Structure 1
Amino acid sequence: MPAERLLLLGVNHKTTPVEVREKIALSSGYDEPLTALKRVRGLKEYYLLSTCNRVEFLLVAQPDKNIEQEIIRFLFGEGALLQDVGKYLYILEGQAAVKHLFMVAASLDSMIVGEAQILGQLKVAYRHASQLGCTGPLLNKLLHKSFSVAKRVRTETAIGSSAVSISFAAVQLAKKIFGNLKEKNVLLVGAGEMAELAAEHLVGQGVGGVVVANRTLSRAVSLAQRFNGKAVSMDELIVQLETVDIIISSTGAKDIILYKEDVKSIMRSRMNKPLFFIDIAVPRDLDPKLNELDNVYLYDIDDLSTVVEMNRSERDKEAVKATRIVEEEALKFERYYQGLAITPAILELRQKIDSIGQYELEKTMHKLPGLTEEEKKHLEKMISAINAKVLHHPLMYLKADSCMGRDNRDKKVAIIRELFGLGD
């Protein structure tokens, strides 16, 4: 029988509403909960991942312990029972746990498929678990394998190359217009959430500076500080167009705030350097006639939504390839994992056959005291060859792929143990 169980228990954005997730979010970081897990009996190795969209436990546990109930109490409180929280919780074992981990690492289980953030979160979580001595040989190998699976998915597919959020689509369009975004200056008009996210992406691309214009100056100052930029009033909007390259607008205004004629006069002083406008407001902030000006590019939320839908379709195709890679790698790890379970039986079998051969060899040599050294070596080689031939078929039987199902594997190990008297 296997010496341990490989388990994965968790909740995520698919199974659990945010009002439940926020109650079990581990806001204190990793060290406190990982230290607390040391007190759970039956855990041999363990790892914890906590993000805004998921909390997951990856465990190596003794087979005779009810670890599931212990983790339920850990997550939901002392009085929690499986029948009460089962609708939120997923419990996976063996290959299913391995596949799920690989899917998470490859960003195939994320809210936005293909986003790159999750792999970094996995590595941070692993670093904490490793430093506290929570992981061991099996989880160390499994988690490192999940990182290499994610890298393979990124290398062999285009899962992360297409923009599937409005904010990221805006940045991708800006890159197409300007090529390199370094040293380009950004003007945020208003302080809407999507404009803020687009600014985050742009800052990540190394833009030169950020200016925030808002009707409430205190809000502009607060947002500008976040991006190490500067705040201006809405009255300064047109003047700022002389020095910026990308404008993201998301005010709550009921009417157009910037017209074609306003920008036309500025283009002369800009020497016709390109201006890229992103209008994420509904109703629109920017005059649609801006597109009639040379070197002025205007995209509204419908334009960006079209880009997102086209890219989502492409990413879904890539997700099919990525899932195939995950399944292939999960099968490889399953063979390795199942091999660990039969290794003790193989070692015992080898030792038993070798000890029988050695006993008979010594008994024969004792009866033939006149053997030369060369004759003794011939006898030793003969016994070694007999041992190898006796072992060949039992070992092939244990290692065969048909043994890789857990129930079938355990039956085969039991048969070999009984036939050869292992453990007697």
Structure 2
Amino acid sequence: MIILKADYKKYNVSELENIRVDEEEFYGTFYNAILLQTCNRVEIIFDADKLEDIKGIENIKLEKFDILVGDEAIEHLFRVACGLESMIVGEDQILGQLKNAYLKAKEKGKISKKLEKIILKAIHTGQRARVETKINEGGVSIGSAAVELAEKVFGLEGKNVLLIGAGEMANLVIKALKEKNIKAIIVANRTYEKAERLAKELGGIAVKFDKLEEALRYADIVISATGAPHPILTKERLKNAGKTFIIDIANPRDTTDDIKELPGVFLFTIDDLRLVAEENLKKRKKEIPKVEKIIYEELENLKELLDKMKLEVAVKELGQYIENIRKREVEKALKILKNKNKPAEEVLDDFSKALCKKIIYDMIKIFENVESREFFECLAKEFKKHGNNN
């Protein structure tokens, strides 16, 4: 297997965007291949031993990629599936992205049996890592840490959540909220269209910014993530909000400290969340050796599976070789029988001898080119043993 790899470790997001490959063109050009593209990586996976064996490889800018081959490529794929190669260690999203890439290649009919086995084993390994370890537990982005903090301190089930802002940080919050059983989500933003788009992801509602105070009275939990240059949540604005849990993840801050003076208002800032995220990341990193142990086990299992596949292919090819000889010798024997030059018993005897001689002759020719005579001797002994048993 060969993997062409370009990721966040080497390129920023805009640089990766320039490396991205057109999916339709890719599957129109390559066979036995899978294209895995996310905002943080572009990886092209081939079932091949050498680059020069890949038809159409000249269409790819190889200088942009790191090239992984054989066992190194397979191990890397397993690490990707487990989230060990992600910007956020142990994140779950990459596993779904790998599944989707596999299904796309399968749908296009561009995946070999061997490559399919490897990809499915990688997905299985990623699933094991998340079930048997804590590699994906605890939010490590500020957005996910905000949701985690709200859930631990205040509870999310049956609550009304107000998200203020619609930028990158707000998107991280939305991703984390998708998995939670909240009652309602309200999104407020100065650009109403952006608020509508985000709200739609969670089946929530969008409100215009001039309706913010009304939304604050309705909300149990407020997560503020705007890019405003000055605070938007003040003591005056929140005086009628009632019991409210506020998490401010904006930089600069969206809140003023004096809102803590209001009865029933609880405020957490981005500094509190950084501590949560850093602690969670430390916990995840402690799980890495456990995940690597799972990867090692599954790589060994895969090796056995691939060896078995190789044997099956070899046996199939050997069977086809013998069948071709059998057909030729049968044709010769049938011609002799039609001419009635010899008794049937003699023709059959000649046929069986010719078949055996041809196979033995070809085997000798083959093994003359094999360096290890021990293997040939071992094979002969095994044939003898099976012959005696039969």
Q: TM-score, normalised by structure 2?
A: 0.73
Query: Which residue of structure 2 aligns with residue 113 of structure 1?
Result: 89
Tell me, yes or no, if the aligned pair for 2:187 and 2:199 is still in contact at 8 Å.
yes
Match of 2:42 among 55, 71, 85: 55
Query: Which residue of structure 2 aligns with residue 8 of structure 1?
Result: 3
Query: Which residue of structure 2 aligns with residue 35 of structure 1?
Result: 28
Q: Distance in 2 between matches of 1:164 and 1:7?
A: 32
Residue type of the alignment partner of 1:24: I
Q: Is residue 416 from structure 1 mapped to residue 371 from structure 2 by the alignment?
A: no
Residues 417 and 255 of structure 1, relative CA distance in 2, 3 Å threshold: same
Residue type of the alignment partner of 2:118: L
Query: Which residue of structure 2 aligns with residue 375 of structure 1?
Result: none
How far off is 1:94 after superposition? 2.2
Q: Distance in 1 between matches of 2:171 and 2:51?
A: 48
The number of equivalent residue pairs is 332
How far off is 1:50 after superposition? 2.1
Output one character per residue of 1:202-238: Cα deviation in whole Å (capped at 9) or x when no partner: 2442433333334455654565556554444444333
The alignment-based identity, stated in percent, is 40
Q: Is residue 194 from structure 1 mapped to residue 194 from structure 2 by the alignment?
A: no
Residue type of the alignment partner of 1:134: K
Output one character per residue of 1:296-328: Cα deviation in whole Å (capped at 9) or x when no partner: 321111111111111111111112211221123
1:129-278 equivalence runs, <5 A: 129-179=105-155, 181-217=156-192, 220=195, 223-224=198-199, 228-260=203-235, 262-267=237-242, 272=243, 275-278=244-247
Query: Which residue of structure 1 aligns with residue 60 of structure 2?
Result: 75
Runs (5+) with no aligned partner, structure 1: 1-5, 39-44, 77-81, 350-410
Query: Which residue of structure 1 aligns with residue 256 of structure 2?
Result: 287
Secondary structure of the 1:108 match is: coil
Residues 144 and 191 of structure 1, relative CA distance in 2, 3 Å threshold: closer
Secondary structure of the 1:211 match is: strand
Residues 412 and 300 of structure 1, relative CA distance in 2, 3 Å threshold: farther
Residues 244 and 123 of structure 1, relative CA distance in 2, 3 Å threshold: same
Q: Is residue 308 from structure 1 mapped to residue 283 from structure 2 by the alignment?
A: no
Query: Which residue of structure 1 aligns with residue 292 of structure 2?
Result: 323
CA root-mean-square deviation: 3.4
Tell me, yes or no, if the aligned pair for 2:83 and 2:90 is still in contact at 8 Å.
yes
Query: Which residue of structure 2 aligns with residue 26 of structure 1?
Result: 21
Output one character per residue of 1:160-182: Cα deviation in whole Å (capped at 9) or x when no partner: 11111000000111111343x34
Tell me, yes or no, if the aligned pair for 1:95 and 1:334 is still in contact at 8 Å.
no
Q: Is residue 66 from structure 1 mapped to residue 41 from structure 2 by the alignment?
A: no
Secondary structure of the 2:10 match is: coil
Residues 412 and 285 of structure 1, relative CA distance in 2, 3 Å threshold: farther
Q: TM-score, normalised by structure 1?
A: 0.68
How far off is 1:345 after superposition? 7.6
